[in-house]
Chains A and B, each alone.
Chain A
Amino acid sequence: MASRPPRKFWAGRRSRSAADGETILDALARDGFPNLVRSVRYHRPRGPFCGTGDCTGCLVRLNGRVNVRACRRVVEEGDRVGDGNAWPSPSFDLLGVLDFLFPDGVDTLRGFRRPAWARGLYHAVNRRLAGYGAPPDPAPTGPAETPAERLQTEVAIVGAGTAGRAAAAAARAHGRSVVLIDRRTDVPPEPGVELRAGTTATFLSPPAGNGVWTLLSFREPEQGVLVRARSVVVATGSYDGPLLFGGNDRPGVVAAELALRWARDGRRSPLRGVLVVGGGRRASAVVERLGSTVVAVTAPADIGPEVTRAASERKIPLYPRSLVVRARGHGRVRAVELRGRSGGPRFSVRCDGVVLAHRRLPVAQLAFQAGAERAWNPSLEAYVPRTGADGVTTVTGLYVAGSAAGGAPDGSAESGTRAGASAAASASPAGAAATSPAAAPGPLAGYYRELLRERRAGKWVACSCEDVLLSEVERASARGYAGIEVVKRYTGLGTGLCQGRYCLPDALLLLSILEGRPPSEVGFITQRPPAVPTPLGALADLGDSISSEVIP
């Protein structure tokens, strides 16, 4: 990359500098672990978690705009980065006293009803505590608006990873026009394919009688992108799954994705000594990349040979088959308490971070949104779109490939090629599901069953976007509210900015334990559009091109 002078910007009333093309988060992480936001109910310190723009851990106010993901926005000269939801600042927030005042949480469903004269006060206080940032400025500054883009193609492919690229190549080979879009900005071009990098697909809507799919997308900050296609391949990959434990929302608990990102290019990562959770390939990649900054590796189950080899080279201790019980520390993880699953006392591992690499889960909201039937995948202990061998779903013209369909990483290329060919040939959809017997609880469900028996201290956050505690989920269950759809409405779990990504997978397992039935019977949250929060400006700019459509 051509070296350009560093860019100056403002954050926390201080002048900072960023390399050309660097995101706000990465620039801030040079000075230590960034504390940018407080949680929405208890004002708990939060740090960046996912590194992909999905969690609420790096929301900032940028040039008068609200809820900007610092991990996705590249620094522009003169940017002004403000704090959200904290006073006076996220690292020292007086409202954080709420977290100490209410160690077991507050009951907003049943509490704050009396006395009647205080109702107005409760409303006023609650409204001011809620929400992340202040409303957008009447006239925010920033780059001029870019007009919306409209694209037409025979095959649209979402995701330019291994599976998506293979699908694009296969569809091209069958003579189809292809538009390939990806949320990431650093995607290499694909010959003969219209590539749109930095473009987030948010709403995939099936044809309304005319055989043409509509895919609403946007580019930062507010440019609308509309893709019309005859068929669509969803190859949106997978993400690092969550893990529930005491203090699981503490700054320093991060997804493998973010730890890997910060360990790239010889950067100085703000994570200096981490506990890695996971025993498979993802964990071994983390150990390889983070090297000596890994202080220990633990896993809910066994630790595989790759991790064992990588760890023994570096004399890193291993704690297989262990419960992660609690992260200690307030503004930052200081230590983690573990317990062997076969028994024994709890012990503590000193660390300044926890890297979650125990579980990869499919990103398939677009497919579910478009009506694809789901199937419980017992080895992932999660739902995947039900697909045939050639990537066909139960919806005409919709195909899913690679790890988005629950496939293993080394099968992505082949899966993509087949789905691309199916899309090119408009292969018929998969038939209705044969009723399969309810899946037996898997290993992670067993892990949680054991964990729930642990003595608890501190808050266990079942949904970090909305600060919903595990105890609230248990209370809902104890009062007779069953099934994920009802518990979602009762507790607010899954209604926050990550769209359920970081709470729903565990919530299904927890409810299966609390309700005494297989996770596949607990149900699923309807995947509502948009898949990723989408600026009103981007949607408004697309208004005239879709405002005359007939809705069935």
Chain B
Amino acid sequence: MTIPRDRYRTVIVGAGIVGLFTAYRLARAGAGPTLVLDRGFLSSGGSGRNGGGIRQQWETRSTIRLARESVRAYRAFGREFGYNIWFRQGGYLFLAESDAELARLRGVRDLLVSEGLPCRLVDPDGLAALVPGIARGAAVGGSYLASDGTLYPFPAVWGLYEAVRSLGVDVVLGAEARGVSTSDGRVRGVVTAAGTVGAETVVNAAGGWSGEFSRSAGLDVPNVATRHEILATEPMKPLLDPMVVRPRDGLYFSQTLRGELVGGLTVPHAPGTARGVPSSPRFLASMATALVGLLPRLRSLSVLRAWTGYYDDTPDGFPVIGEDPRLPGFVHANGFGGHGFMLAPAASRRVAAAVMHERIDLDPSESSPARFFGPAAAVRAERLQLG
């Protein structure tokens, strides 16, 4: 674990999808020497632990637009990066269990249609066609957008990793960033286990560890690492095309290319989420209950494995993108709340712009770190957080 140079124009903390995509954008723009540091091995964090869902059904225009841009980027990924991410646009189906929930999804549908995305509402017969064997009365309807889909996360990480390295970016794995060095009120470098490395700009793309890293730099941020659990079943032949999401309990699942059902749901964890805690019996039992309740035919299907990861949550559900006004040179690229993979291709363009002091094409009230402490307190929120 040695760092090749002692000075970089930019040091990115986190070699996950956001950090690597940002490094790629910077390298392509010729933004000077770039280093990416990661505390673990490649794909050891959220980028290797997510369910691969990519959706454009959101409740705010800004997020819809970021997601739509990401969908386009992922469609072109194979051509650009040489790895096949098997992005399958099998749609996302949000289930409504009551008329009130259906009314909410109708609002989402209207917003998407106004953005040019052909989202549609689905009646119970439509649900039965999309989810073969769905329990009678399990939902009153849903919203469906066919161009949403799922991808295989790992090859995206490999493709980006190889691309940035061939562009001259240094990637050092197993090197934890422990803080920043500052002088005259701005960032001068990053402190690592292997010593301090000089940097004009530090990008915090540490995912579930980004709150800790910001705080180690003396910045009070509202990011919370929330443990999330997920499981995969044994593989079987195709049963299901879309990702299915139920907002009430956060249930989501889809069938991967290999035939496994992969999904999770929200189970409350004790506050102050501890690190290194493995899967819980409670999650397995709750997830099994939810799946069998929705699709009774799954009773005999076996769970193959379960794992945990961390969401990097913000109070309003929007990510944090841009330079922190309290510490010039410290750029946030975090707070994706479990949707980093979904938004990284588009979000990384804005992060790179922030690093290069260019204009960021985002509404500051929905992206800037200042929204949490500045005079312009957050007024909106993105609440369609699940799946």
Asked whether, in the complex, the Cβ of B86 is within 8 Å of the Cβ of A123, the reply is yes
Asked whether, in the complex, the Cβ of A133 is within 8 Å of the Cβ of B237, the reply is yes
Contacts of A539 in B (CB 8 A): 284-285, 287-289, 303
Contacts of B42 in A (CB 8 A): 481, 486, 489
Could you tell me the distance between the alpha carbons of A65 and B300 in the complex, rounded to whole angstroms? 6
Could you tell me the distance between the alpha carbons of A328 and B271 in the complex, rounded to whole angstroms? 59
Contacts of B237 in A (CB 8 A): 127-128, 130-131, 133-135
Contacts of B43 in A (CB 8 A): 486, 489
Asked whether, in the complex, the Cβ of B299 is within 8 Å of the Cβ of A136, the reply is yes
Asked whether, in the complex, the Cβ of A535 is within 8 Å of the Cβ of B300, the reply is yes
Could you tell me the distance between the alpha carbons of A213 and B133 in the complex, rounded to whole angstroms? 36
Cβ of A273 to closest chain B Cβ, rounded Å: 35
Could you tell me the distance between the alpha carbons of A537 and B284 in the complex, rounded to whole angstroms? 11
- What's the count of A-B pairs with C-beta under 8 Å? 210
Could you tell me the distance between the alpha carbons of A495 and B287 in the complex, rounded to whole angstroms? 20
Dominant SS at the A interface? Answer: loop
Contact string, B277-292, partner A, CB cutoff 8 A, digits 1/0? 1111111111111011
Asked whether, in the complex, the Cβ of B302 is within 8 Å of the Cβ of A109, the reply is no
Could you tell me the distance between the alpha carbons of A526 and B305 in the complex, rounded to whole angstroms? 11
Contact string, A266-288, partner B, CB cutoff 8 A, digits 1/0? 00000000000000000000000
A12 touches B (CB below 8 Å): no
| Residue in contact with B284 in the complex, picked from A123, A134, A216, CB distance below 8 Å | A216
A552-B84 CB under 8 A given contacts A132-B235, A536-B302: no
Q: Which residue of A lies closest to B258 (CB)?
A: A130
Could you tell me the distance between the alpha carbons of A359 and B42 in the complex, rounded to whole angstroms? 33
Asked whether, in the complex, the Cβ of B286 is within 8 Å of the Cβ of A137, the reply is no
Contacts of A108 in B (CB 8 A): 84, 86
Could you tell me the distance between the alpha carbons of A112 and B304 in the complex, rounded to whole angstroms? 27
B233 touches A (CB below 8 Å): yes
Asked whether, in the complex, the Cβ of A536 is within 8 Å of the Cβ of B297, the reply is no
B162 touches A (CB below 8 Å): yes
A537-B300 CB under 8 A given contacts A109-B83, A133-B237, A489-B48: yes
Asked whether, in the complex, the Cβ of A530 is within 8 Å of the Cβ of B286, the reply is no
B8 touches A (CB below 8 Å): no
Instruction: Flag the segment in A243-251, A381-389, A542-550 that touches B.
Output: A542-550
Could you tell me the distance between the alpha carbons of A545 and B285 in the complex, rounded to whole angstroms? 9
A67 touches B (CB below 8 Å): yes
| Residue in contact with B280 in the complex, picked from A131, A205, A528, CB distance below 8 Å | A205
Asked whether, in the complex, the Cβ of B257 is within 8 Å of the Cβ of A132, the reply is no
Asked whether, in the complex, the Cβ of A214 is within 8 Å of the Cβ of B133, the reply is no
Contacts of A497 in B (CB 8 A): 234, 304
A1 touches B (CB below 8 Å): no
Asked whether, in the complex, the Cβ of B257 is within 8 Å of the Cβ of A485, the reply is no
Contacts of A135 in B (CB 8 A): 132-133, 236-239, 297, 301
A66-B301 CB under 8 A given contacts A130-B257, A486-B43: yes
Contacts of A203 in B (CB 8 A): 279, 281, 284
Could you tell me the distance between the alpha carbons of A108 and B158 in the complex, rounded to whole angstroms? 13
B66 touches A (CB below 8 Å): no
A371-B278 CB under 8 A given contacts A497-B234, A537-B292: yes
Could you tell me the distance between the alpha carbons of A538 and B285 in the complex, rounded to whole angstroms? 9
- Residues of A in contact, count (CB < 8 Å): 70
Cβ of A82 to closest chain B Cβ, rounded Å: 12
A534-B303 CB under 8 A given contacts A130-B259, A547-B282: yes
Contacts of B373 in A (CB 8 A): none
B107 touches A (CB below 8 Å): no
Asked whether, in the complex, the Cβ of A133 is within 8 Å of the Cβ of B282, the reply is no
A113 touches B (CB below 8 Å): yes
Asked whether, in the complex, the Cβ of B285 is within 8 Å of the Cβ of A547, the reply is yes
Contacts of A123 in B (CB 8 A): 86, 88, 257
Q: Which residue of A lies closest to B255 (CB)?
A: A127
Q: Which residue of B lies closest to A370 (CB)?
A: B278
A547-B301 CB under 8 A given contacts A126-B257, A529-B278: no
Contacts of B236 in A (CB 8 A): 66-67, 131-136
Could you tell me the distance between the alpha carbons of A222 and B301 in the complex, rounded to whole angstroms? 9
A2 touches B (CB below 8 Å): no
Contacts of B268 in A (CB 8 A): 551
Could you tell me the distance between the alpha carbons of A549 and B133 in the complex, rounded to whole angstroms? 31
Cβ of B272 to closest chain A Cβ, rounded Å: 9
Could you tell me the distance between the alpha carbons of A526 and B298 in the complex, rounded to whole angstroms? 27
Asked whether, in the complex, the Cβ of A139 is within 8 Å of the Cβ of B305, the reply is no
Could you tell me the distance between the alpha carbons of A548 and B132 in the complex, rounded to whole angstroms? 31
Contacts of A552 in B (CB 8 A): 269-270, 274, 277
Q: Taking beta carbons and an 8 Å cutoff, which residues of B are in contact with A?
A: 41-44, 48, 78-79, 82-84, 86, 88, 132-133, 154-155, 158, 162, 227, 233-239, 257-259, 267-270, 274, 277-289, 291-293, 296-307
The 9 A-B pairs of least Cβ separation, nearest first, read A131-B259, A537-B299, A539-B288, A113-B78, A533-B302, A543-B289, A65-B300, A135-B239, A540-B288
Q: Given contacts A205-B281, A535-B302, list 8 more A-B pairs with CB under 8 A.
A: A113-B78, A114-B79, A123-B86, A130-B258, A132-B235, A135-B132, A139-B296, A539-B284
A-B CB contact pairs (8 Å), 18 listed: A65-B300, A109-B158, A128-B238, A130-B259, A132-B234, A134-B237, A140-B297, A499-B304, A526-B278, A528-B279, A529-B279, A533-B304, A535-B302, A540-B288, A549-B281, A550-B270, A551-B268, A551-B280
